[in-house]
Structure 1
Amino acid sequence: MSTHHLVPTVTHETAARAVSIGIEKGAAEGVKAVVTVMDPGLVLVAVGRADGAPPHSVETSRRKAITAASTRKPSAAIPPQNVTLLEHGTGGLLTGIKGGVPLFFDGVFVGGLGIAGGTPDQDAVIAAATLAALGADEMGA
């Protein structure tokens, strides 16, 4: 009988780089972004907010990161017919809004990334660019 599991987790160094890169990629798109990184246990590892980012985007970014970390899929991958049920069933913890992506490195899942501040399509572009710059596995944002 096994007494424990070993769970790979994103490092603070990588999470902080993701925040910095996401804010830079957002600026390049004309977006004042908020970037959140959660570990597989849905614990906050890093968060950053570009100067002037909309206040509500802090919460939206967090929910996108939690969704990606919880489901190991992009937040936009939630089937449309399940979005409302999922949001209500989790007390608003999860979301189907574009901009949340799981963090995989060489096929190993280590957490979730959430980008908010622009339109959902802009957030998805910034998330994909952040993954690429980090050297993470590509995921549909």
Structure 2
Amino acid sequence: MSAYTTIPVITYAKAAEAVQLTIDIGAERGLKLCATVVDPALSLVAYGRADGMTPHSVETSRRKANTAASTRKPSAEVLPELATALENGTGGLLTRIPGGVPIVIDDVLIGGLGVAGGPPAEDAKVAAAVLEAMGAASTGEA
């Protein structure tokens, strides 16, 4: 029995790519967005925001990324009946607001992306577009 495990994590370069794609795709759609990328252990890898973005979205993007990385599914897929318990039980670390997606490349979970700053449905669409542009697995509607 091994005394340790190995956990794949997203590289800074790939995380920074996701952040830049989020800002660029958001701008193309008339949105000022921010993006947070975390690894599977929920450690921050990269963060960036468009100039003029709403300040409260910073924390929202982090929570969306955490949710996607820890549950391995889009933040919007958290069951409604668990939403309050999830947020209260984690001290607000997780959320069910749309816009968080797991980052899976070559069938390996390497992190989570949280997109915030626009309407949640638009954040989710941008997150899905970022995954596609990165060559990551699609999770359907984020």
TM-score bracket, normalised by the shorter chain, equals over 0.9
Moved over 4 A (4+): none
Match of 1:76 in 2: 76
Match of 2:137 in 1: 137
User: How many angstroms does 1:47 deviate by?
Assistant: 0.2
CA RMSD across the alignment: 0.6
Q: Is the 8 A contact 1:99 1:116 kept in 2?
A: yes
Alignment of 1:16-55 (within 5 A): 16-55=16-55
User: How many angstroms does 1:30 deviate by?
Assistant: 1.1
Match of 1:66 in 2: 66
Distance in 2, Cα, partners of 1:28 & 1:117: 14
Match of 2:114 in 1: 114
1:28-78 CA distances to partner (integer Å, 9 max, x unpaired)? 111100100000010000000100000000000000001001111100010
Aligned residues: 141
Q: Secondary structure at the match of 1:101?
A: strand
Q: Is the 8 A contact 1:29 1:122 kept in 2?
A: no
Percent of aligned pairs sharing the same letter:
60
Distance in 1, Cα, partners of 2:58 & 2:114: 10
User: How many angstroms does 1:136 deviate by?
Assistant: 0.3
What TM-score do the two structures reach when normalised by structure 1?
0.98
Q: Give the unaligned 5+ runs of structure 1.
A: none
Q: Is the 8 A contact 1:132 1:138 kept in 2?
A: yes
Q: Secondary structure at the match of 2:130?
A: helix
Q: Give the unaligned 5+ runs of structure 2.
A: none
Distance in 1, Cα, partners of 2:81 & 2:28: 34
1:62-97 CA distances to partner (integer Å, 9 max, x unpaired)? 000010011111000100111111011111110000
Q: Secondary structure at the match of 1:127?
A: helix
What TM-score do the two structures reach when normalised by structure 2?
0.98
